Structure 1
Amino acid sequence: MKNVSPAIKGLNVLLRKPKDSDVFDYLEVDISQELIRMYGGNTKRIAPKTLEKAQKFVQSIQENKLEWCVEYKGKMIGQARLTVSDIDNRARYAVGIFDSSVWGKGLGTEITQLILHYAFKELNLHRVDLRVLEYNKRAIKCYEKCGFIKEGVEREGALIDGKYETDVFMSILDREYYEIKDQFIKMILVG
């Protein structure tokens, strides 16, 4: 496996390691209750952002081998991560766009396509999977658009704001990716 996440440039986003200004980009964006809910957090106990928390957030991206800051129009708007298991040649995918002002622009789809291209073409993985809360319809639609297939659910496995919620498990295999990749490559890769 490669040691560090390389910069990956798409048409609209740049996936890269952190830089100093990311802390301030993160602090500049208000905390969204909807985002906290989509992450599975408690919306009744949202703590304010602090410089220390922002620094830890950005530092954790720096420390992870395959985690990227997502840059859009010169600002950090989120992060993406692959957690690779070398034993069985697979990875767990996670993405979060914390800046709600850019939701609905197709950036999640572009980010996911860039990561899948890297996972299958550069890392030669067999499988990429994820879990997503069933009520996160926007994310599920994005993942399906990128070729992920629903493979199961964990019924009421997450207690969120006092209510049990269901997680959906989704995955894409290398052969499935290679069947659809050509339709994405021209849309997402620059250079």
Structure 2
Amino acid sequence: MGSIIKLRDPIDADAQVHFSYPPVAEIVRMYGGETTSLPKPDLDRSKRWLEWLRGHPFAKIIICDGGPVGQVRLHSLDREDKRARLAIGLFAEEHLGRGIGRKAVRLALDHAFGDMGLHRVDLRVLSFNKRAIRCYASCGFVHEGTEREAAWISGTWYDDWIMGILTHEHTTGT
């Protein structure tokens, strides 16, 4: 029925895949990036991205039906308080709206609340990113607060939502 979604460790070849997807205005805007001058594809930039990704305690490449389509990571790990922050990004518009992100988030949460033994995972999302907010809510995240006018994008202030999920609120599996 649906696509097969898996997570795997980053490999060197992922820099080439990242390079093959030029930045797209809609995706860059959802990250809070400036869309008036998108960066041109650059293999060295993609290699730096891969090394940056590998520097996180849990960073995985999202595989959909056998091919890389994005990344998901847990960062800002606080082992004492057993919490981390989640971030996810898909490489291209064609990957949006297919449930790929939702399945990848659930797999990352399985790991966070399972192997990593975390108690809490939170995230920040721009308030206008309704697609992402629906995804996170369907995975069990709760809107905990709003950081008003926290992001300056293309000459306008936007709110950031803070969403979180606790271990007892997570249902394992996709």
Q: Which residue of 2 aligns with 1:165?
A: 158
Q: Structure 2: 5+ residue runs without aligned partners?
A: none
For residues 113-152 of structure 1, what are the structure 2 equivalents within 5 Å? 113-152=106-145
Deviation at 1:15, TM superposition (A): 1.2
Q: Which residue of 1 aligns with 2:7?
A: 15
The yes-or-no answer on 1:67 pairing with 2:59 is yes
Q: What percentage of aligned pairs have identical amino acids?
A: 37
Match of 1:37 among 29, 35, 42: 29
Instruction: Provide Cα deviations, 1:7-66, integer angstroms capped at 9, x if missing partner.
Output: xxxx62221112232122112113210011000011112110201001111122223221
SS in structure 2 opposite 1:123?
Answer: coil
TM-score w.r.t. the length of structure 1 is 0.85
Counterpart contact for 1:90–1:125, Cα < 8 Å: yes
Instruction: After superposing the two structures, state which structure 1 stretch, 151-160 or 18-27, moved more.
Output: 18-27
1-side partners of 2:118 and 2:11: how far apart? 28
Counterpart contact for 1:61–1:69, Cα < 8 Å:
no
Which whole-Å CA distance do the structure 1 matches of 2:169 and 2:6 have between them?
Answer: 25
Cα root mean square deviation, aligned: 1.3
Higher helix content, 1 or 2: 1
**Where does structure 1 lack aligned partners over 5 or more consecutive residues?**
1-10
In structure 2, what is the equivalent of residue 76 of structure 1? 68
What is the letter of the counterpart of residue 106 of structure 2? Answer: Q
Q: 8 Å contact 1:152–1:170 — kept in the other structure?
A: yes
Output one character per residue of 1:86-133: Cα deviation in whole Å (capped at 9) or x when no partner: 121111111111221111110110001101111112112111100000
**1:153 aligned partner:** 146
Checking the alignment, whether the CA contact within 8 Å between 2:86 and 2:123 is kept in structure 1 is yes
Inter-partner Cα distance in structure 2 for 1:168 and 1:28: 31
Indicate whether 1:47 and 2:39 are aligned. yes
